[in-house]
Amino acid sequence: MTKLTKSIIASALLSTAMSTAPVFAADPGSASAGNGESMRDVTSGDFKAGRAKPITTPKLTDEDSRAAPLTDEKAAVKSYGIVGRSADGKEIKIEPSEALRELIIKELNAPANGADGAERKTEDPGLGEGEAGRQVFGPDDREQVRNTKTYPFSAIGYLEAKSKTGYGSCSATLIGPRTVLTAAHCLYSHEDKDWLSDYLFVPGLNGSTADDAPFGAFAYESAYVLQGFIDNYQGYYGSVIPWDLGIITLKQDVGTNLGWLGYANYDDLGDFTANLVGYPGDKPMGTMWKASCEVHAENIAPEYFQYDCDTFPGSSGSSVYAYDTNSKQRIITGVNVAESPEANTAVRLNAANVQWINSLYK
């Protein structure tokens, strides 16, 4: 396999010197396979399998397309503010750090990210041959993950949240001891102009009953989205797709036992194999499915990239990751957020998004 060359901002450097023992250091961006010990949540106990319906995956159309990148420095910086809500209902607002401000302004004046043309094979060797998820592109060749207790599947979970009309579900991924990465539209509803609530993260869920949650269900401490996801909404999803990232901080340290995936900005991100694992709603409730497909350089933009991995409501928030053959880590490069007749879309973890995630990392 051709090795994927990394160019990662200083605050998200990955360790490339891997020992034979698992890595447990909670460094932003690095991966950990966990310590292998089982655990169960003892604080929540509120997960009732089958009550949630998959949250509708936003659609991109020719009419509304994607938002044009912001060119005004003040508006661009403001979009990277942190807006959140704690489990006790308190609103949270945090201005972008000075380092993030400087990075955003630098990116506004930089040329579009391009590829170097090298062929890259970054399919996860633990996933087998290529699979796909569903907005259907050709045959459905997704495969079910039957042993969800093993890493990396133990770090991937079912995300449930309560809205004004009932419970909805998405997919999400541990990226730190208490940090879960998902899509912003899984946490905040533009239709309701309000946050969802009662978020529960169920890692390794493998069926339709509470007994199929091998590690239990974990309650949240706080949830966050980019301020641009709320402020820049113009009545259609394409206006906010660049900011469709969400973070949940759990009350408990889950990742030390179960592990977490790494994440990074690859400045030279070109052709690579995308791996996507989550909970698509067209499959039996609560079952985990894996997919992979090729992402081509011409479909990679600074804020997002597109691919023909199939998806379905419930897959929103799934991490799109590459297997980095240098560090032998699974590194998230984007988050699955939207579909269209031509391709599905992930928000790219560019340098600014990585910096924003780092500021919330726990």
Distance (Å, whole) CA 142 – CA 309: 9
Neighbours of 208 (CB within 10 A): 13
The confidence score (pLDDT) of residue 68 equals 56
The confidence score (pLDDT) of residue 136 equals 43
Parts of the chain with a pLDDT under 70: 1-26, 41-45, 61-70, 111-139, 141, 311
pLDDT digits (tens, 9 = 90+) for 325-353: 888 899 999 999 988 777 889 999 999 99
Domains of the chain, by residue range, sit at 10-15+23-35+47-65+108-358
The confidence score (pLDDT) of residue 113 equals 45
Distance (Å, whole) CA 77 – CA 54: 32
Q: What is the CATH number of domain 10-15+23-35+47-65+108-358?
A: 2.40.10.10
The confidence score (pLDDT) of residue 36 equals 82
pTM of the predicted protein model: 0.86
Neighbours of 338 (CB within 10 A): 25
The confidence score (pLDDT) of residue 69 equals 59
The confidence score (pLDDT) of residue 5 equals 37
The confidence score (pLDDT) of residue 339 equals 80
Structure tokens at 272: 């690579």
The confidence score (pLDDT) of residue 44 equals 61
In DSSP notation, 254-305 reads: -HHHH-B-EE---TT--SEEEEEEE--TTSSTT-EEEEEEEE-GGGB-SSEE
Q: State the chain's mean pLDDT as an integer.
A: 82
